[in-house]
């Protein structure tokens, strides 16, 4: 009888790495953005009016404050979990090398990826903070995947300097203001950026081009 790793052609350690990567992906892309969204929404709920009068009874206001604290604790716990479920490829090679390898696999023969990385880019540093490394890596891969799959891009330019990581493509583009509410891609990427104290901006229009910019400082 064959074992699962024999059937898949992967070693046990590779299967473990894949499982860790999937768990990390789910925490980062699915769980944390929802917690962040809930926290941000709750922060906007007024417990007092502008003239200082209470909008809610004190017991309800206290419960809201307690839930806010729980959500902040959940965000902190999620970030700590991500540092333990670090993308395995970033454990074994520098960020830039791992990113180039992953982008090459996404593009394959259908798209040309060109890199412009300055020496002062934080992502080129040996000691790179894991939260930023993970966020930048996943936003980059998601942006390239979207450009290839949905935009049919044939060329992607990736620029990295002291201030930002920018991914530009010559694909078909889209209207960012009319993305269906059920599509969470852009919202999730913005949530990821916010979780590590950065900002994500998406610029596009029907016919292209599309540009995704992540601040790094």
Architecture of domain 94-215: 2-Layer Sandwich (3.30)
Reported as a single tens digit per residue, the pLDDT across 94-142 is 999 999 999 998 998 889 999 999 999 999 988 888 889 988 998 999 8
Comparing C-alpha atoms, which of 115, 200, 113 is closest to residue 148?
Answer: 113
Query: What is the predicted pLDDT for the residue at 6?
Result: 45
Comparing C-alpha atoms, which of 144, 159, 73 is closest to residue 112?
Answer: 144
Residue/partner pairs of 124-128 with CB below 8 Å, 24 or more apart: 124/94, 124/95, 124/96, 124/160, 126/94, 128/95
What is the mean predicted confidence (pLDDT) over 7-30?
A: 62
Strand boundaries in the chain, DSSP class E: 112-117, 155-160, 164-169, 200-203, 210-215
What is the mean predicted confidence (pLDDT) over 77-91?
A: 71
């Amino acid at each position: 009888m064959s074992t699962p790793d024999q059937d898949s052609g992967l070693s046990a350690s590779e299967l473990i790495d894949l499982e860790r990567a999937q768990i990390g992906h789910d925490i980062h892309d699915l769980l944390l953005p929802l917690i962040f969204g809930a926290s941000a929404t709750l922060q906007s709920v007024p417990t007092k009016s502008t003239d200082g009068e209470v909008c809610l009874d004190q017991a309800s206001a206290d419960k809201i404050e307690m839930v806010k604290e729980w959500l902040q604790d959940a965000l902190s716990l999620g970030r700590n979990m991500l540092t333990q479920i670090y993308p395995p490829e970033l454990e074994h090679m520098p960020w830039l090398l791992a990113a180039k390898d992953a982008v090459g696999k996404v593009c394959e023969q259908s798209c040309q990826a060109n890199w412009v990385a300055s020496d002062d880019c934080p992502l080129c540093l040996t000691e790179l903070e894991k939260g930023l490394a993970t966020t930048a890596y996943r936003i980059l891969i998601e942006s390239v995947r979207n450009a290839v799959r949905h935009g049919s891009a044939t060329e992607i330019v990736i620029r990295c300097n002291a201030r930002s990581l920018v991914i530009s493509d010559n694909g078909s583009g889209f209207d960012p203001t009319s993305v269906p509410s059920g599509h969470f891609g852009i919202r999730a990427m913005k949530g990821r950026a916010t979780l590590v104290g950065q900002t994500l901006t998406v610029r596009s229009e029907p016919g292209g081009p599309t540009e995704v910019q992540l601040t790094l400082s």
